[in-house]
């Protein structure tokens, strides 16, 4: 992995569909954006923030998630997520993440949905696959 500068970032977004809601998992739950889907969107932003620094055969994977889901949003709303590289300890990259929607009623223009940190590690896929084929974890 090439050196990743502090502040490297990526942004991603998606429009909430029924498949992203609590109702999709259980009919009695409200049709609001689920925490797992918010975290998935944040993880995708993390992946893209680190991707330009990969060497051939490398990917980055999540190792720890510390996220608060702070507000609800419903079907049809566009959700944004951003990941910013905050620190590196020699093995793990700590990414500051946040998710939001545009909210013209708020003076900032945004409604915060969630925030926190996600840790990532780099995996060399061919090496990993070779280990798993040999019965090693």
The CATH number of the domain holding residue 70 is 3.10.129.10
Asked whether the predicted pLDDT for residue 15 surpasses 90, the reply is yes
Instruction: Categorize the per-residue pLDDT at 80 as very low, low, confident or very high, splitting at 50, 70 and 90.
Output: very high
Any residues with CB less than 8 A from the CB of 19 and at least 6 apart, and which? Answer: none
> Is 104 a residue whose pLDDT tops 80?
no
Average pLDDT over residues 76-86: 97
Domain that holds residue 59: 9-133
What number is the average pLDDT over the span 25-45? 97
Q: Give the CA angle between residues 129, 134, 137 to the nearest 5°.
A: 70
Q: What is the pLDDT of residue 137?
A: 59
For residue 108, indicate whether it is catalytic: no
Average pLDDT of every residue of the chain: 94
Domain assignment present for residue 13? The answer is yes
Share of the chain above pLDDT 90, in %: 87
Of 43, 73, 94, 101, catalytic = 43
CA atoms within 13 A on the CB side of 61: 7
Number of domains making up the chain: 1
- Point out the catalytic residue in the list 69, 80, 112, 117: 69
Task: Summarize the confidence of residues 68-91 as an average pLDDT.
Answer: 96
Q: CA-CA distance, 66 to 4, in Å (whole number)?
A: 21
Work out the average pLDDT over 110-136. Answer: 89
The reply to whether 91 sits in an annotated binding site is no
Has residue 1 been placed in a domain?
no
pLDDT at 135 over 60: no
Does residue 102 belong to any structural domain of this protein?
yes
- Among candidate residues 14, 23, 24, 35, the one labeled active-site is 35
43 is catalytic: yes
**Does the pLDDT at position 103 exceed 80?**
no
The verdict on residue 26 lying in a domain is yes
Tokens standing for residue 136: 């090693």
Of the candidates 116, 51, 123, 119, which has an alpha carbon nearest to the alpha carbon of residue 81?
Answer: 116
20 is catalytic: no
Q: Identify the pLDDT of residue 109.
A: 84
Out of 59-63, 107-111, 115-119, least confident range: 107-111
């Amino acid at each position: 992995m090439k050196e990743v500068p502090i502040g490297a970032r990526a942004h991603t977004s998606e429009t909430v569909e029924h498949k992203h809601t609590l109702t999709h998992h259980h009919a009695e739950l409200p049709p609001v954006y689920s925490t797992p889907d918010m975290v998935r969107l944040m993880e995708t932003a993390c992946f893209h923030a680190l991707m330009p620094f990969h060497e051939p055969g490398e990917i980055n994977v999540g190792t720890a998630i510390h996220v608060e889901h702070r507000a609800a949003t419903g079907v049809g709303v566009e959700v944004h997520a951003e990941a910013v590289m905050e620190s590196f300890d020699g093995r793990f990259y700590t990414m500051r993440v946040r998710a939001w929607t545009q909210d013209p009623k708020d003076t900032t223009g945004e409604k915060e949905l969630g925030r926190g940190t996600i840790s990532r590690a780099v995996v060399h896929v061919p090496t990993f696959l070779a280990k798993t084929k040999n019965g090693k974890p």
